[in-house]
Chain A
Amino acid sequence: DGGITQSPKYLFRKEGQNVTLSCEQNLNHDAMYWYRQDPGQGLRLIYYSQIVNDFQKGDIAEGYSVSREKKESFPLTVTSAQKNPTAFYLCASSHGRGVENEQFFGPGTRLTVL
C-alpha cells in the first residue's frame, strides 16, 4: 500500500539534545513538507522540498534543519536551538506541480522535551 510513514510515534528528548524525526513516502511524490501543530492551533510550515537535494524554509524554520538526499525521504532534525520544541509534527507529500497539489499526510510524531 502506498503512503507516508513517520517514526517514531512518540519521542522524548532532554533539553540540549538534537533529535531527528523520520518521514518516508512511497507515493513517488516530488514535494515533501514538515508542519508543526500546537494545541488549539493550525498547521505551521517548517520546511518544504520540491525536489531532491533542494529545500526551502517555511514560516518557522528557526531551530530546525532538513535534508533531501532521496526522493522518498525527508528527515527533520530538531536542534537544541529550538526554544520550544514540544509539539506534534506532521510530514506530508504531494505531486508538487500541476493542477492538483493535494497533500497526503503521515500519522505524525509527538515530541516531548523533558
Chain B
Amino acid sequence: AQTVTQSQPEMSVQEAETVTLSCTYDTSESNYYLFWYKQPPSRQMILVIRQEAYKQQNATENRFSVNFQKAAKSFSLKISDSQLGDTAMYFCAFMKRRKTSYDKVIFGPGTSLSVIP
C-alpha cells in the first residue's frame, strides 16, 4: 500500500523569504502522479502543483516549484517570495497513473505553514 509522509507538522517563514516543505512517499509503482494541495483558513482545497513521475523535469507554477527525487521517493515544495496569502495547510498527495481506470488519491497528514509579516 502507498503511504505519504510529511515530517513537518508546522512551519513558519518571514514574508518575502523562501521556505521548503518536505514530503516522502512509499510505493512500488513506477508510474504515478504527485500533488501539492493548499488549504487556507477558508478550508477550500486548492491544487498548487502537479508532478508526473515519468517526467524528470521538476514542475513549477509561478512562485511554487518542486524538487522531485524519484529514487529517494521525495517530493518537496519550495515557495519563493512568501506572501501572507500563502498561510495555509499544505497537503502532499500521491496517485497511481492508469490510462483507463480510476485510483484513489493518498494524502499526507499536512504541514501548517504560517507566513509572518
Chain A residues in the interface with B (C-beta under 8 A) = 31, 33, 40-43, 45, 48, 50, 58, 88, 90, 92, 96-105, 107-108
**Which DSSP category, helix, strand, loop or mixed, fits chain A's interface?**
loop
Contact present for B104 and A58 (CB under 8 Å): yes
Q: Residue B78 at the A interface, CB < 8 A?
A: no
Which chain B residue lies CB-closest to A107? B44
What is the CA–CA distance of A92 and B107 in the complex, to the nearest angstrom? Answer: 13
Chain B residues in the interface with A (C-beta under 8 A) = 4, 9, 33, 35, 42-47, 50, 91, 95, 97-105, 107-110
Q: Shortest beta-carbon distance, A96 to chain B, in Å?
A: 5
Q: Shortest beta-carbon distance, A42 to chain B, in Å?
A: 4
Contact present for B101 and A97 (CB under 8 Å): yes
Contact present for B109 and A42 (CB under 8 Å): yes
What is the CA–CA distance of A58 and B105 in the complex, to the nearest angstrom? Answer: 11
Q: Which of B33, B44, B107 contacts A101 (CB 8 A)?
A: B33
Q: Which residues of B sit under 8 angstroms from A101, Cβ to Cβ?
A: 33, 95, 102-103, 105
Chosen A-B contacts, 6 in total, with CB atoms closer than 8 Å, are A45-B105, A90-B45, A97-B99, A101-B33, A101-B95, A105-B45
What is the CA–CA distance of A107 and B105 in the complex, to the nearest angstrom? Answer: 18
